[in-house]
Chain A
Amino acid sequence: MAKSKSAYSIPGKQGKFDTHIIVVWVDNEAGVLARVAGLFSSRGYSIESLAVAEVDPKLNISRITIVTTGTPQVIQQIKLQLKKLVPVHKVADFKKEDKNVIFKEMALLKVVGNNSKRKKAIKACKKYNVVILDKTNKSVVIQITALRREIDKLTKNLKSLGLVSTSRTGAVAMTRGSEVFK
Chain B
Amino acid sequence: MSKLYSGAEIVFKCLEDQKVEHVFGYPGGAVLPIYDELKNHSSIKHILVRHEQGAGHAAEGYARSTGKPGVVFVTSGPGATNVVTALADAFMDSVPLVCISGQVPTHLIGTDAFQECDTTGITRPCTKHNWLVKNIKDLPKTIHKAFEVATTGRPGPVLVDIPKDVQFQKTSYKKYNKQKKSNGNSNNFFSQEDINELIKLMSQSSKPIFYTGGGVINSGPKASKLLRELVSLTGFPITSTLQGLGAFPGNDNQFLGMLGMHGSYEANNAMHDCDLMINIGARFDDRITGKIDEFSPKSKKVHIDIDPSSINKNIKVNLPIVGDVAQVISSTIKTIKKIKPGFAKSNNQKISKWWEKIQKWRSIKSFDFINSTETIKPQYAVQRLYELTKNKDTYITTEVGQHQMWAAQHYKFDKPNRWMTSGGLGTMGYGLPAAVGVQVAHPNKLVVDIAGEASVLMTMQEMSTAVQYSLPIKIFILNNQYMGMVRQWQELLHEKNYSESYTAALPDFVKLAEAYGCVGIRAKTPDELDDKIIEMINTDRPVIFDCMVDKEENCFPMIPSGKPHNQMLLGPNDQKETKITKKGKALV
The reply to whether A3 and B581 form a contact with Cβ atoms under 8 Å apart is yes
The reply to whether B124 and A35 form a contact with Cβ atoms under 8 Å apart is yes
Q: B99 to chain A: closest CB distance in Å?
A: 16
Interface window among A4-12, A99-107, A119-127:
A4-12
The reply to whether B124 and A38 form a contact with Cβ atoms under 8 Å apart is yes
The reply to whether B120 and A31 form a contact with Cβ atoms under 8 Å apart is yes
Q: Complex Cα distance A77/B581, Å?
A: 34
Q: Complex Cα distance A86/B121, Å?
A: 16
Partner of B580, one of A6, A30, A42: A6
**Contact of A7 with B293 at beta-carbon distance under 8 Å, contacts A31-B120, A81-B309 already known:** no
Residues 55-93 (chain A) with a chain B CB within 8 angstroms: 73, 76-77, 80-81, 83-86
Q: B479 to chain A: closest CB distance in Å?
A: 24
Interface of A, secondary structure class, is loop
A13 in the interface (beta carbon within 8 A): yes
The reply to whether B584 and A9 form a contact with Cβ atoms under 8 Å apart is no
Chain B residues within 8 Å of A85, by CB: 129
The reply to whether B312 and A73 form a contact with Cβ atoms under 8 Å apart is yes
Q: B388 to chain A: closest CB distance in Å?
A: 33
State how many residues of chain B have any CB contact under 8 Å with chain A.
40
Q: Complex Cα distance A25/B578, Å?
A: 54
Residues 1-41 (chain A) with a chain B CB within 8 angstroms: 1-10, 12-13, 30-31, 34-35, 38
**Contact of A42 with B290 at beta-carbon distance under 8 Å, contacts A5-B493, A73-B312 already known:** no
The reply to whether A8 and B578 form a contact with Cβ atoms under 8 Å apart is no
Chain A residues within 8 Å of B581, by CB: 2-4
Chain A residues within 8 Å of B291, by CB: 9-10, 12
Partner of A31, one of B124, B492, B583, B587: B124
Chain B residues within 8 Å of A34, by CB: 121, 124
Chain A residues within 8 Å of B309, by CB: 77, 80-81, 83-84
Chain B positions 20 through 51: 1 when the CB is less than 8 Å from some CB of chain A, otherwise 0? 00000000000000000000000000000000
| Number of A-B residue pairs with CB-CB distance less than 8 Å in the complex they form | 97
**Contact of A9 with B286 at beta-carbon distance under 8 Å, contacts A2-B562, A34-B124 already known:** yes
Q: B292 to chain A: closest CB distance in Å?
A: 4
Q: Complex Cα distance A5/B489, Å?
A: 9
**Contact of A5 with B584 at beta-carbon distance under 8 Å, contacts A12-B292, A81-B309, A86-B149 already known:** yes
Which range contains the number of A residues in contact with the other chain?
A: 20 to 34
Chain B residues within 8 Å of A30, by CB: 132
Q: Complex Cα distance A27/B313, Å?
A: 27
Residue of B nearest to A84 (CB): B309
**Contact of A4 with B125 at beta-carbon distance under 8 Å, contacts A12-B293, A84-B309 already known:** no
Q: A111 to chain B: closest CB distance in Å?
A: 40
**Contact of A6 with B587 at beta-carbon distance under 8 Å, contacts A77-B313, A83-B308 already known:** yes
Q: B205 to chain A: closest CB distance in Å?
A: 26
The reply to whether A6 and B312 form a contact with Cβ atoms under 8 Å apart is no
Residue of B nearest to A30 (CB): B132
Chain B residues within 8 Å of A76, by CB: 312
Residues 340-361 (chain B) with a chain A CB within 8 angstroms: none
Q: Which residue of B308, B311, B492, B569 has the most chain A CB atoms within 10 A of its CB atom?
A: B308
B107 in the interface (beta carbon within 8 A): no
Residues of A within 8 A of B (CB): 1-10, 12-13, 30-31, 34-35, 38, 42, 73, 76-77, 80-81, 83-86
13 contacts between A and B (CB under 8 A): A1-B562, A3-B578, A4-B562, A5-B558, A9-B289, A9-B290, A9-B561, A10-B562, A10-B587, A12-B293, A77-B309, A77-B312, A86-B129
In the A-B complex, list the 3 residue pairs whose CB atoms are closest, starting with the nearest: A4-B584, A80-B309, A6-B584
